[in-house]
């Protein structure tokens, strides 16, 4: 049954993605079409239902594959939560694409779609929290933070197990996911100005590579004698003749702030040299605030790495936090569960929420209240970010 539900889930997911892009692409390309007609709306609705079904089947396969002894309540929470998460998250991406790639969408439909863009992420989060509560007591803590492929073959890695060989960390994937979201939003802002997609494609790649270098340099310099979290001691490695450890980012060690600073600098230099027809101040206003969203997503890499935390507190003192989050932030583990009732304050979460709030303040609220007619100059968004 595990294989059956897995196949059904993947088929539903593939069908949802196909319906979404196969039907939206012609709609985006036809500038004469400004309204989502009934037929297209039905296809988009079917795509959303398939997303929900894929979540249901995939979670069923996970529950059966791990042979968890879930109570009826936990089964309901995990299945309903997974279904709602996939349903709302998939529908959100439909609304996101309509908002950012159909600039001449019917005004009435555009207003409704804007509501979906800002409401659906919270509904998806609610579904994810339900799913998490359903399986929280059956997960193994600390949670898997990535995988490595070495002499021993493929192996899952946690924050306290160490890694060898080729290592892929969820932290790196979180940073890349955040960078991709920042790119999509920035690209839509450039489209509004130049009526053309792809202007920042090369800029994105160059800034991303510069950001990776900056993130690594910042980490190596700031943690030269070790990071007190199981990270590499570069001073010791270099004294042993292992200079290459500085460049081995697959073994972990990137700092989000260093990546943001370097990415901004490299991006500004690229626009100045290669995109001279683009006003640098406009580019800054369009791109820099989105880095806050990238940082917020990247902070979840700290969650899996069990880092960026504060003082020790009792788990019961933070009852509003999800069970799985409190367990992951525990001060110690025994047999896959917290060894006590104490946890670290999740500073990464606080910073992530602050970053999201900062984005909406800088990118939405300030431009609405302080317009250029009232004295705001292009490029001021960089100052607010810094």
The lowest-confidence range among 160-174, 223-237, 241-255 is: 223-237
Q: Provide the 3-class DSSP secondary structure of residue 313.
A: strand
Determine the pLDDT at residue 128.
Answer: 95
Top pLDDT among 77 and 99 is at 77
For range 159-174, the mean pLDDT = 75
Determine the pLDDT at residue 4.
Answer: 92
pTM exceeds 0.85 for this model: no
Which residues, other chains included, contact 22 with Cβ-Cβ below 8 Å and sequence gap of 6+? none
Determine the pLDDT at residue 30.
Answer: 81
Which residues, other chains included, contact 154 with Cβ-Cβ below 8 Å and sequence gap of 6+? 147, 148
Answer yes or no: is pLDDT of 165 > 60: yes
pLDDT, tens digit (0-9, with 9 covering 90-100), for 285-343: 888 888 899 889 988 888 888 877 888 999 999 999 999 999 999 999 888 899 989 99
Q: Provide the 3-class DSSP secondary structure of residue 190.
A: helix
Top pLDDT among 214 and 124 is at 124
> Is 52:84 a contact under the CB 8 Å cutoff?
yes
pLDDT interval class at 162 (50, 70, 90):
low
Determine the pLDDT at residue 252.
Answer: 60
Determine the pLDDT at residue 329.
Answer: 93
pLDDT interval class at 192 (50, 70, 90):
confident
Answer yes or no: is pLDDT of 229 > 60: no
Of the chain, the percentage scoring pLDDT greater than 70 comes to 86
For range 85-114, the mean pLDDT = 90
Top pLDDT among 321 and 241 is at 321
- Burial of residue 138 (CB within 10 Å: 0-12, 13-18, 19+) is middle
Top pLDDT among 28 and 240 is at 28
Answer yes or no: is pLDDT of 97 > 70: yes
Residue with tokens 């690594």: 216
Q: Provide the 3-class DSSP secondary structure of residue 229.
A: coil
pLDDT, tens digit (0-9, with 9 covering 90-100), for 31-82: 788 888 888 899 999 999 999 999 999 999 999 998 889 999 999 999 999 9
Answer yes or no: is pLDDT of 243 > 70: no
Q: Provide the 3-class DSSP secondary structure of residue 271.
A: helix
pLDDT interval class at 272 (50, 70, 90):
confident
Determine the pLDDT at residue 188.
Answer: 84
Written as six digits, the tokens of 156 are 């899952």
pLDDT interval class at 225 (50, 70, 90):
low
pLDDT interval class at 374 (50, 70, 90):
low
For range 190-216, the mean pLDDT = 84
The whole-chain average pLDDT of the chain stands at 85
Answer yes or no: is pLDDT of 164 > 70: no
Written as six digits, the tokens of 344 are 């670290």
> Is 105:34 a contact under the CB 8 Å cutoff?
yes
Determine the pLDDT at residue 127.
Answer: 96
Determine the pLDDT at residue 31.
Answer: 78
Written as six digits, the tokens of 160 are 């306290």
Determine the pLDDT at residue 15.
Answer: 94
pLDDT interval class at 84 (50, 70, 90):
very high
Nearest to 96 by CA among 126, 116, 125, 122: 116
């Amino acid at each position: 049954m595990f294989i059956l539900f897995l196949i059904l889930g993947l088929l539903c997911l593939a069908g949802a993605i196909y319906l979404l892009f196969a039907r939206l692409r012609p709609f985006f390309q036809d500038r004469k079409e400004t309204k989502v007609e009934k037929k297209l709306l039905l296809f988009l609705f079917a795509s959303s239902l398939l997303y929900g079904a894929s979540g249901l089947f995939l979670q069923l396969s996970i529950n059966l594959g791990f042979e968890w002894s879930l109570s009826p309540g936990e089964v309901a929470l995990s299945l309903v939560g997974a279904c709602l998460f996939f349903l709302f998250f998939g529908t959100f991406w439909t609304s996101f694409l309509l908002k950012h790639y159909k600039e001449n969408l019917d005004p009435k439909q555009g207003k409704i779609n804007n509501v979906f863009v800002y409401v659906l992420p919270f509904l998806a989060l609610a579904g994810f929290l339900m799913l998490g509560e359903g399986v929280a007591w059956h997960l193994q803590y600390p949670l898997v933070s990535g995988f490595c492929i070495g002499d021993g073959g493929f192996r899952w890695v946690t924050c306290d197990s160490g890694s060898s060989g080729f290592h892929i960390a969820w932290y790196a994937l979180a940073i890349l996911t955040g960078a991709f979201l920042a790119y999509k939003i920035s690209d839509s802002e450039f489209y509004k100005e130049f009526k053309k997609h792809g202007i920042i494609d090369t800029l994105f790649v160059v800034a991303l590579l510069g950001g990776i270098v900056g993130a690594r340099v910042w980490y190596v310099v700031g943690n030269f004698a070790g990071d007190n979290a199981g990270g590499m001691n570069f001073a010791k490695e270099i004294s042993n003749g292992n200079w290459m450890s500085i460049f081995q980012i697959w073994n972990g060690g990137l700092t989000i702030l260093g990546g943001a600073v370097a990415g901004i600098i490299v991006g500004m230099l690229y626009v100045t040299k290669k995109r001279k027809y683009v006003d640098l101040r406009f580019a800054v206003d369009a791109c820099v605030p989105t880095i806050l969203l990238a940082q917020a997503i990247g902070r979840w890499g700290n969650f899996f790495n069990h880092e960026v935390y504060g003082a020790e507190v009792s788990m019961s003192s933070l009852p509003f936090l999800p069970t799985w989050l409190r367990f992951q932030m525990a001060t110690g583990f025994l047999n896959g569960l917290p060894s006590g009732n104490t946890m670290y304050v999740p500073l990464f979460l606080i910073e992530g929420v602050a970053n999201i709030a900062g984005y909406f303040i800088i990118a939405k609220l300030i431009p609405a209240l302080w317009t250029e007619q009232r004295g705001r100059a292009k490029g001021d968004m960089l100052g607010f970010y810094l």
